[in-house]
Chains A and B, each alone.
Chain A
């Protein structure tokens, strides 16, 4: 079993829909990152959080440390949101080594 599990693996949505991507992990963590990777492109950091909730534009990230779970929400989705979203956790073991999920591939149709 992977230490970081994302669901769903693939997601197709219509423009305007509310989207939720989930990340569950099995280790104690210092921080969790949500990353975005566009096709053929680089990786961009969306959020880093260790508790509570963060919001940036149409994106909202939440984390529940006790339940070892985080969600990334996209409101009013748009085709330009089509990308792979990656969850990465930094374990408290202190080895600077992020553990990455395999990503959720999102496609938003116009």
Chain B
């Protein structure tokens, strides 16, 4: 099984550019999450989804948008106008339920210059 797959793995953007990060999972999980990881800080939740077609804001949602496609395995994270403050490592995760084990992707290292 592939588990949770994130694309791309690395990306460099110029300030103001836009991009979409893709998260795909093949475990039929209902819950999906996008986190960012910054030095000296714990992972912080950007947005999450508790099922197909549903999304909600996490702790640090500003500057990001998400969509959970009809194909419920995919969860997209969009940056409409990238800023240097969005330089980070982004992780997608999924879980079957609220209090069940979470599975993480390999991460996307994004640099905004």
Summarize A's interface: helix, strand, loop or mixed. strand
Interface residues in A, total, Cβ within 8 A: 25
Given A96-B48, A96-B50, A97-B58, A45 contacting B42 (CB threshold 8 A): no
Contact residues in B for A35 (Cβ distance below 8 Å): 104
Stretch of A12-20, A36-44, A66-74, A75-83 on the interface side: A36-44
B109 to chain A, nearest CB (A): 9
Is the pair B48, A41 in contact by a Cβ cutoff of 8 Å? no
Number of A-B contacts defined by CB within 8 Å: 56
Given A43-B104, A45-B104, A97-B59, A90 contacting B91 (CB threshold 8 A): no
- B residues adjacent to A (C-beta < 8 A): 31, 33, 40-45, 48, 50, 58-59, 91, 93, 98-107
Contact residues in B for A100 (Cβ distance below 8 Å): 42-44
Is the pair A102, B42 in contact by a Cβ cutoff of 8 Å? yes
A94, CB-defined interface residue at 8 Å: yes
B67 to chain A, nearest CB (A): 18
B38 to chain A, nearest CB (A): 10
Is the pair B43, A96 in contact by a Cβ cutoff of 8 Å? no
